[in-house]
Amino acid sequence: MDTHRLASGRTLPGKGWRQGQDNGIIFIDVDTSAAGFTEVPTYNVSVDGLSLVANLGCPGIYGASATGFTVGLRWVFPTNTTPLGPADAVTNGFSVNWAAYQPTPQGKTGAGEDDYTVGPFVLDALTSISTRVTSLEFLPPKVPGGVGPTGGDLTVIPVNDGATAIGSWLLMPPNGAGDNKIGVATCVTRVTQTDGVYQTVFTVTNPRRDPTDMARPTRVYQLVGVCQTTFTPKVSPGGEQGPSRTGAVGAYQGDRR
């Protein structure tokens, strides 16, 4: 089943209109970039104003793209003998109302390694404290297209300036075909800072393939589960190293920003 990304807007009354090459047509450019469409959506438009709207023909849409379109108007009512111009749009307060939708398929969860290689995960405060990681990003797989497990590196941003961080991931594909089956990626991050080393192992489930769909809160990839962080203290000046400690943080979530 498909969902849709929906958006709508309205131009300012009487603003932005310009004369076309034919002096009986006026045009206005409509910017829809704020909607974040990733392909050309289906646009629907109407025109309103203070007066004479019924004298207008059906608005024409030109040059539709993911970031906008152009609307053209002309008079069609026989009592208007003077060609339509931008001044008429100002006097009568013409504005364009628009609505658009773009189908966004939910797709198959765990369908492939590309599900895990788009955008960084920003960890929540509790998880960042435990792991010493602010965000992590899946880099493309080292051996793409394989039928078995595949994986790659992580870009790991540590919480503290001056710390060093590395990471890697391994994707285990679903056991058999099926839209409702999910692949699981096991990730490891390692952050080294002045007090010691924090190594975290956690799994990532991908409940929904399309993170750009704005229809529900699940529009983002989520990190949900329990991560295990092992802290190994730095060797003391006397050459003694304290015991490592392992702790778990549960019910966390990192939204892709």
Residues above pLDDT 70, as percent of the chain: 65
Mean pLDDT, the chain, rounded, equals 74
Of the two residues 49 and 169, the one the predictor is more confident about is: 49
Nearest to 209 by CA among 153, 148, 256: 256
From residue 30, give the alpha-carbon distance in Å to each of 20, 39, 236. 16, 16, 65
The residue among 248, 212, 172 whose CA lies nearest residue 5 is 212
168-204, pLDDT tens digit by residue? 887 665 555 544 444 566 788 999 998 889 998 876 6
**Residue among 87, 103, 106, 116 nearest 26 (CA):** 87
Using CA atoms in the order 55, 67, 214, 128, what is the torsion angle rounded to 10 degrees?
-150
pLDDT surpasses 80 at 5: no
Q: Tell me what the mean pLDDT of segment 194-216 comes to.
A: 61
Four-CA torsion 127, 131, 132, 135, nearest 10 degrees: -60
Distance of CA 85 to the CA centre of its chain: 40
Res 140: pLDDT: 73
Please give the pLDDT value at position 184: 61
Tell me, what's the pLDDT at 225?
59
- The pLDDT confidence band at residue 34, using thresholds 50, 70 and 90, is confident
Asked whether residue 78 carries a pLDDT value surpassing 60, the answer given is yes
Q: Where are the alpha helices (DSSP H) in the chain?
A: 86-92, 125-131
Q: What is the pLDDT of residue 89?
A: 95
* Single pTM value for the model: 0.46
Confidence at residue 166, expressed as pLDDT on a 0 to 100 scale: 95
